[in-house]
């Protein structure tokens, strides 16, 4: 049904770069799959005399028979007009002004149609590199479609007559599983380098491939990501690696040389260290995260970032020790060095960086298992995360003398058995007698 529609429209060359209407008999989108709150926003905008459409990823996912995570709306109403219609809304953003309409924990994002403009427009501002700094220029539905990033996201559904407006090429790309950028790829990536991350994310999430012209500039333009605000990149990396497709996404980031601008120290270690321990460790951490997400279990960015930065922390600590620093200060210095450098690229909030450091610090404390220490460690708020981290280290090939198995058994025993385990450990590893230092000889004075 959809394929026949595509063939019909692609045989009309003059229509291929224009939005066309697809009636309800020729698409898969149904109101049954749409959030009740999103429909409420659509109907109120339409009843107030405005155009309003579900737009982007939610329409794309419904067309692919997937359940959308979010519902976004595009309209000809300005942010101020939207704000007046919804008391439960607020205007956010400076570069692009959008409206969040809040229904409990669900947020419906409403955006005014973007328009085309020239550089002299007061609401349009670009950096020397071509990146858009401000772009609150409004236009028509056709203008807005041209401003969308990829053909598969330039799709608009209206509850007025249940039609979809889309490019025929976009519908074909959905069928062919292709990510294709709208317009000149290099120009669009310069306007917003995050589009490169979005291309990779959609390719991994949907199992699509990048069209050749969309793919070609990414490797050379990836350094432009260093111009993006570190706080924004923190959110973008979470979207990339905490989508349930983290392993596939990481492989694409590596393939397109995007790791270096995001995680420079991690990239440096992975490139310089000969064995594959760190690469295996990160792969297993991402697999663990994917498994938890796909099983609807909780995950924390602190654990993921702790894993991603572990190669740099461990290598820096080793270097500090080789330079003569005592073990504990060497590790603490390494943690501070890595975080100080990383936040210049990706701003990790303290609510995550503090638990990250605790996970790292516990890797130093877990081997120290005297009776009191073992019990204290087992009740530490970050123990479970640190224990999982320890198991990943061993699984990746790090030799820790059965430390993970010991802590696994320790958690499965009662209080008396734990005391026995600690006592057995003491007997099998008796403390070495410390050599007494001979006091220095008194220097005889010459008579």
Q: Which residues pair with 91 in a beta bridge?
A: 99
The reply to whether 72 belongs to the active site is yes
Asked if residues 329 and 382 have their Cβ atoms less than 8 Å apart, the reply is no
Residues comprising the chain, all counted: 447
Q: What angle do CA 332, 334, 335 make, to 5 degrees?
A: 65
Within 68-142, strands assigned E span 72-75, 89-92, 98-103, 106-112, 124-126, 132-135
Residue 274's SS3 state is coil
Q: How many CA atoms lie within 13 A of 224 on its CB side?
A: 24
Single out the catalytic residue among 61, 144, 149, 173.
149
Asked about 275 being catalytic, the answer comes back as no
Choosing from 61, 72, 135, 144, the catalytic residue is 72
> What tokens appear for 289 in the block?
């995260």
Distance CA 115, CA 216 (A): 27
DSSP codes of every residue in 139-204: --HHHHHHHSSBGGG-EEE-TTT--EEE-HHHHHHHHHTEE-BSS-HHHHHHH-THHHHHHHHHHH
Instruction: Please indicate whether residue 409 is annotated as part of the active site.
Output: no
Residues with catalytic roles: 70, 72, 149
């Amino acid at each position: 049904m959809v394929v026949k529609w595509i063939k019909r429209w692609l045989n009309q060359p003059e229509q291929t770069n224009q939005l066309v209407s697809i009636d309800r008999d020729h698409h898969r989108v149904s109101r049954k799959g749409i959030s009740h709150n999103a429909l409420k926003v659509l109907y109120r905008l339409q009843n107030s005399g405005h155009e309003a459409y579900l737009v982007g990823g939610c329409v794309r996912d419904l067309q692919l028979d997937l359940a959308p995570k979010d519902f976004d709306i595009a309209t000809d109403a300005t942010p101020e007009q939207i704000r007046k219609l919804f008391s439960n809304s607020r205007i956010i953003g400076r570069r692009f002004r959008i409206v969040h309409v809040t229904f409990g924990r669900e947020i419906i994002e409403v955006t005014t149609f973007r328009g085309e403009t020239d550089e002299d427009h007061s609401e349009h501002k670009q950096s020397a590199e071509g990146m858009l700094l401000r772009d609150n220029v409004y236009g028509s539905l056709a203008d807005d479609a041209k401003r969308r990033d990829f053909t598969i996201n330039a799709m608009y559904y209206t509850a007025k007559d249940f039609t979809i407006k889309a490019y025929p090429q976009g519908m074909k790309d959905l069928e062919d599983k292709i990510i294709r950028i709208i317009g000149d790829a290099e120009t669009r990536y310069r306007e917003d380098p995050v589009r490169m991350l979005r291309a990779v994310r959609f390719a991994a999430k949907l199992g699509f491939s990048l069209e050749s012209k969309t793919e070609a500039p990414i490797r050379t333009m990836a350094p432009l990501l260093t111009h993006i605000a570190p706080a924004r990149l923190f959110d973008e990396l979470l979207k990339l690696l905490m989508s349930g497709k983290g392993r596939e996404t990481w492989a694409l980031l590596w393939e397109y040389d995007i790791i270096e601008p995001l995680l420079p120290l991690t990239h440096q270690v992975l490139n310089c260290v000969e064995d594959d321990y760190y690469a295996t460790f990160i792969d297993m951490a991402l697999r663990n995260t994917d498994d938890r997400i796909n099983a609807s279990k909780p995950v924390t960015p602190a654990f993921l970032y702790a894993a991603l930065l572990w190669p740099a922390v461990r290598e820096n600590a080793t270097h500090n020790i080789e330079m003569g620093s005592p073990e504990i200060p060497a590790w603490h210095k390494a943690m501070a060095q890595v975080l100080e450098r990383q936040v210049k690229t990706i701003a990790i909030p303290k609510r995550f960086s503090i638990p990250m450091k605790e996970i790292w610090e516990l890797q130093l404390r877990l081997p120290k298992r005297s009776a009191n220490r073992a019990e204290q460690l087992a009740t530490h708020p970050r123990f479970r995360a640190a224990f999982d981290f320890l198991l990943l280290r061993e699984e990746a090939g790090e030799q820790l003398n059965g430390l993970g198995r010991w802590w696994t058994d320790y958690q499965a025993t009662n209080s008396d058995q734990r005391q026995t385990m600690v006592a057995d450990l003491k007997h099998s590893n008796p403390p070495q007698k410390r050599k007494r230092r001979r006091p220095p000889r008194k220097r005889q004075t010459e008579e």
